[in-house]
Amino acid sequence: CCYKNLADLGLELSFSETNSSLILVRKVPMCFMEREANELRRKRQPITKSIVEELIQEQVELVQTTGGGARGTLPLTFLKVLASQACHGAIKFNEHLTLEESCGLIEALSSCKLPFQCAHGRPSMLPLADIDHLQQEEQPKPNLSRLRKMVRAWQLFGK
């Protein structure tokens, strides 16, 4: 009863005519393969089989508890795989970025609703200086207009 739903998610299955307990996996979602590639790069064991088994078990339990009527949400197995990919693909502390990568990152963050923290609530950027609280006697405030001009000139001619 959930065959079509799984096929829509990218998991194509077929069932053996001779063995009712045998399920043949013909195609898996791309995010499962990307997760597998990440695991293999880290010299870990393959995991696609266990992810597919978990997804099928999740769907069987859903059919058993709801009679097959609950649909429309992304299965928990997919959410876990996608969350893992998001974390592993993140830029890590002290990782070097090119100017283009840095500009692209800032541009992408500027379109986010919460650009100052990751999905887990950790800070994604920190202020370099709080110019509103600098005391004039101890340290002069930076000349932001001059700094902007320098950055613009560096962007235009520094490449």
Between the alpha carbon of residue 36 and those of residues 15, 23, 46, 66, 80, the distances in Å are 24, 20, 6, 31, 13
**How far is it, in rounded angstroms, from Cα 59 to Cα 127?**
46
| pLDDT at res. 50 | 93
Each residue of 49-107: pLDDT tens digit? Answer: 999 999 888 888 887 887 766 666 788 888 888 888 777 767 777 788 888 888 888 88
Instruction: Tell me the one-letter amino acid at 151.
Output: V
Between 128 and 103, name the one with better pLDDT. Answer: 103
| pLDDT at res. 5 | 77
| CA nearest to 23, candidates 58, 47, 52, 1 | 52
**How far is it, in rounded angstroms, from Cα 66 to Cα 77?**
18
Mean pLDDT of 134-148: 67
pTM of the prediction? 0.54
Between the alpha carbon of residue 67 and those of residues 40, 56, 61, 64, the distances in Å are 38, 15, 9, 6
Each residue of 15-54: pLDDT tens digit? Answer: 888 888 888 899 999 989 988 888 888 788 999 999 999 9
